[in-house]
Amino acid sequence: MINNIISDRSLIEKEKKLFEKIIFFVLLVCCIYIFNIFSKIGEEKSYLESTLFFIRSFSSILSVLAFGSCLISYNRLKKDSIFVISLMYLGLFVGIVSGQIDFLSFYYEEYNLFSYTTVSTSILRIFLLIIAIIPKSKIKTVIINNKKISIIFVILSTIIFDVIEKNLNFLQYFYSTDFFIMYNYFLTVIYFISAARLLAIGIKEKEYIFVVLASSIFMLAIKAIYAVYAVNTTSFYVKLTSVSITYIIFLIIIAGSFIELYLYINRTKILNENLSLFYNLTDNHKHSFMFICKEDGEIIYCNKKFKEYYKIYSPEDAKRVKLSFAILVNKLENRDEIIKSINTKGVWRGIIKNQDESRSVDCSLQVIETFDSSKEYVITYMDVSKLIRKELELEKLKVYNKEKTEFMSNISHELRTPINIFYSTIQLLDISLVKSDKDFKDMYRKYRKTLHVNCKRMLRLINNVVDISKIETGILKGKFDYYNLIAIVEDVTLSVVNYAQLKFINIQFDTNEEEFIAKCDPSMIERALLNLLSNAIKFTPENKNIYVNVYVNDDFAEINIKDEGIGISKSDKTAIFERFVQADKSLTRENEGSGIGLSIVKSIIDLHDGYISVESKVGEGSTFKIILPNRCDECIDYKIYDISNYNTELELSDIYEILV
C-alpha cells in the first residue's frame, strides 16, 4: 500500500497480471473447443450424438464464461457473496463437462432424477448458495480466506461425488418419480428464496450484479419447475427446452456482467474525471499539506507539497515520517479532545502548535469508511505560523497604541494639574503685587511649598517620559560599580519614613545580613526602590504597615516590599509592568500617576540581570519581590553611596495631598 505514495507501478503490474490470466484462460477454452471440432472431422456420428456433442460443448463454454464473469465481478467489488456464488457456477461447469447435467436425459425415455442431475453435487451447489445469502457466516470467511483451495475442493468433490453416486446401486431406490418431484420442489423453494435475497441486497447496496445473479438463480427455479412439469414427457422438444433454460441461466450472467462492466466503465470514466480534478486540487496544491493514513498511522497517500517538505522518495522515508508523526501526536496537549471529536463527530478542526519547531498549523481531520469497514483519516493542514505571528504583532501594536493613547491622556491630566496650580498661584501673586511688599511675601510664602511640589511633579513626569523613550530605543545604560546593596536599601527606606508617617503608616526594615556587595548603579536602584515605596504609601490606607525585608545568600539578594494596601487584581498583575499600563485608568482615580513607573522599575531590574514579581490579593495588600544576582568577587573594595533627599522629594512628589 505504501508504494501508492511513490508511484502507480504496483497497480499497473496487478492489472497486467489479471489481463494475462484472462487471455490465457480464453485461449485455453478456445484451443480445447477447436481441438474437439477438428478431432471429430471424418467421424460418422448419429444425429443424437452430434446434438449431444454440440450441447455439451456449448454448455461448457457458457458455464465457464459465467464462472469467469462472476470472478471478474468479485475482483472489482470484493463482495464475498459473489465469490461463493461463482463456486456454485463452477460446480455447474464441472457437472456439465463430466456429464452430470441435462444431456444424459436424451438417452432415457423417462425424465427421472438419475438422468436429470447428480443429487450429491446438486446439494453441494445448494449448500454454497445458502452460504452466499447468509449475512455473516464463518464458513464464508473460511472460503474467502482460502480461495484456491475452495476452487479445487469444488472441482474434485463434484467429480468424486458423481462417481460414487453412480456406482452405489442402493441409491437407485431414491430415483423414483415422487422423489424427483419432491426434490425439484425443494430446489424451487431454495432458488426463489435465494433470488429474493440477492435482489434485496442489490437494491440495498445499489449493485447491479446482485440483480443479475438474482435473475439467473430465478431461472434455475424455473428450470426446476419445468422439470416437474416435464416429468411424464419424453419428447425431444421438452428436453431441448430444459437445455435452453440452462443456456439462459448462463447467458444472463454473461450478458449481465457485460452490462455491469459497461456501467462500471462509465462510472470509472466519471470517477477518473473527478479524480483528475482531485489531483489538480490536492496533489498540486501549493498552500496545504494533505495526506491520507490508516488507523496505525501508515500513510497511503500524500500530495506533492507533503512529499517535498518531508523528503519522501521511498517507502522507508514514509515510515520515518510515520514515526515522527506518532511522536508528535503523543506530545499534543489537546490529544484527548481530538480523539473525542473524531469518535463522536468523525471530524476535527483546530490549531496545533509544535513547540519544538515553533510552528502553528491550521489542521482539519476527517474519518472515512473503506470497503473493508476499516477507518482511514484524511488530514489537511496549513502552516499559519507567520500569519499568527503577524496577527499577534498587529494585536500587540493595537494594544500598544491604545495604551499610548491612554498614556497621553494620563500625561495630559498629570500636566494639567500642576500647570493649573502654577497659573492660579501666579494670578494670586499678581494681585498681591499691586499691594505692599509684605502682602506679596505672605502670599508667596503661603504657596511656596505648593509651587515646589508641583515643579517636582512635572520634573518627575518629564524624567519618566525621557527614560521610557530611552528604554524603547535601547539607550538607557547604567553606571555600574561595587556598592553595599543592603546599605542602599536601608537608606532609601529611612528617607521615606517621614512621608509615610504623615499618613500614619509605619515602615519596618529588616535584613538577615548587614552587608551584600553588588555590582550595580546605585541611583537606578534608589529610583526603583523609591518608586515601589511611593506606590506602597499611596495605596496603603492610614494606620497600616509597610515592610521592607532583605534576604541574602551567596548567589543573590532578595528585596521584599510588602504593604497592607488595596491590592492588585489577577487580571492587572500580568500587565502592571508593561509600559503605559495603570491598574486604574480613569481620570477620576484617587491616586495620581502616569502608569510608566513600574515599567521603568522593571527595566532597571532587567539592566541588573535581576527579576521582579508581585504577589497580591485584593483588599489585603501586595508584595513586590526583587531578586538581584551576586556579581561581585570576594574581598573587593566598594564605594559609599549617599542618598539624595532631592531624589526622594522628586519621586514622592505625586503624593502632593500629603505635602501641601
Q: What is the per-residue pLDDT across 19-75, written as a single tens digit (0 to 9) for each? A: 566 667 667 766 766 666 666 555 555 555 666 666 677 777 778 788 888 888 887
Domain identity same for 531 and 451 = no
**Which has more pLDDT, 265 or 292?**
292
pLDDT at 558: 92
**Which strand (E) or helix (H) includes residue 321?**
helix 315-331
Domain identity same for 146 and 229 = yes
Lowest mean pLDDT among 206-215, 235-244, 303-312: 235-244
- For residue 295, the tally of other CB atoms under 10 A from its CB is 10
Domain identity same for 501 and 636 = yes
Q: What is the per-residue pLDDT across 634-651, written as a single tens digit (0 to 9) for each? A: 657 788 888 877 777 777
pLDDT at 102: 64
pLDDT at 519: 86
Any domain includes 183? yes
Q: What is the per-residue pLDDT across 294-338, written as a single tens digit (0 to 9) for each? A: 877 788 888 888 888 888 877 777 777 777 676 667 667 777 888
Lowest mean pLDDT among 89-93, 183-187, 388-392: 388-392
Any domain includes 283? no
pLDDT band, residue 1 (cuts 50/70/90) = very low
CA dist., res. 122 & res. 95, Å (int): 9
Any domain includes 46? no
The answer, yes or no, to whether residue 359 has pLDDT greater than 80, is no
**C-alpha grid cell for residue 291?**
495526506
Domain identity same for 188 and 252 = yes
**Long-range pairs for 141-144 at CB < 8 Å and ≥24 separation?**
141/80, 143/80, 143/83, 143/84, 143/87, 144/80, 144/83
Lowest mean pLDDT among 37-41, 417-421, 545-549, 583-587: 583-587
Domain identity same for 453 and 360 = no
The domain boundary residue, chosen from 383, 416, 449: 383
Any domain includes 28? no
Distance between start and end Cα atoms, the chain: 87
> Please, what is the average pLDDT of the chain?
77
% helix / strand / coil in the chain, to the nearest 5? 65, 15, 25
Domain identity same for 254 and 354 = no
The answer, yes or no, to whether residue 107 has pLDDT greater than 50, is no
The answer, yes or no, to whether residue 3 has pLDDT greater than 50, is no
**Which has more pLDDT, 624 or 65?**
624
CA dist., res. 421 & res. 17, Å (int): 101
Which CATH number covers residue 579?
3.30.565.10
| Residue 359, C-beta contacts closer than 8 angstroms, at least 6 positions apart | 353, 383, 385
Q: What is the per-residue pLDDT across 401-424, written as a single tens digit (0 to 9) for each? A: 766 666 666 666 666 667 777 667
**Which has more pLDDT, 523 or 572?**
523
Domain identity same for 457 and 500 = no
| Residue 261, C-beta contacts closer than 8 angstroms, at least 6 positions apart | 72
CA dist., res. 45 & res. 57, Å (int): 16
Domain identity same for 429 and 501 = no
Domain identity same for 197 and 78 = yes
pLDDT band, residue 13 (cuts 50/70/90) = low
The residue-averaged pLDDT of 261-276 equals: 75
The answer, yes or no, to whether residue 127 has pLDDT greater than 70, is yes
Whether the predicted model's global pTM rises above the 0.85 cut: no
Q: Kindly report the CA angle at 508 between 544 and 478, in degrees rounded to 5?
A: 115
Percent of residues, the chain, with pLDDT higher than 70: 74
The domain boundary residue, chosen from 383, 413, 445: 383
- For residue 632, the tally of other CB atoms under 10 A from its CB is 16
3 state DSSP class of 583: coil
Any domain includes 571? yes
Any domain includes 29? no
Domain span at 325? 289-383
What are the start-end ranges of the E strands in 540-593? 545-552, 556-563
pLDDT at 624: 93
Domain identity same for 85 and 213 = yes
Any domain includes 284? no
CA dist., res. 211 & res. 217, Å (int): 10
- Total domains, the chain: 4
pLDDT band, residue 5 (cuts 50/70/90) = very low
pLDDT band, residue 354 (cuts 50/70/90) = low
Domain identity same for 302 and 364 = yes
Highest mean pLDDT, choosing among 50-64, 154-168, 460-474: 154-168
pLDDT at 7: 43
Domain identity same for 452 and 569 = no
The domain boundary residue, chosen from 273, 303, 330: 273
pLDDT at 432: 73
3 state DSSP class of 508: strand
Determine the residue type at 654: D
Percent of residues, the chain, with pLDDT higher than 90: 7
Which CATH number covers residue 346?
3.30.450.20
The answer, yes or no, to whether residue 629 has pLDDT greater than 70, is yes
Q: What is the per-residue pLDDT across 501-510, written as a single tens digit (0 to 9) for each? A: 888 899 999 9
Any domain includes 533? yes
pLDDT at 189: 92
pLDDT at 168: 66
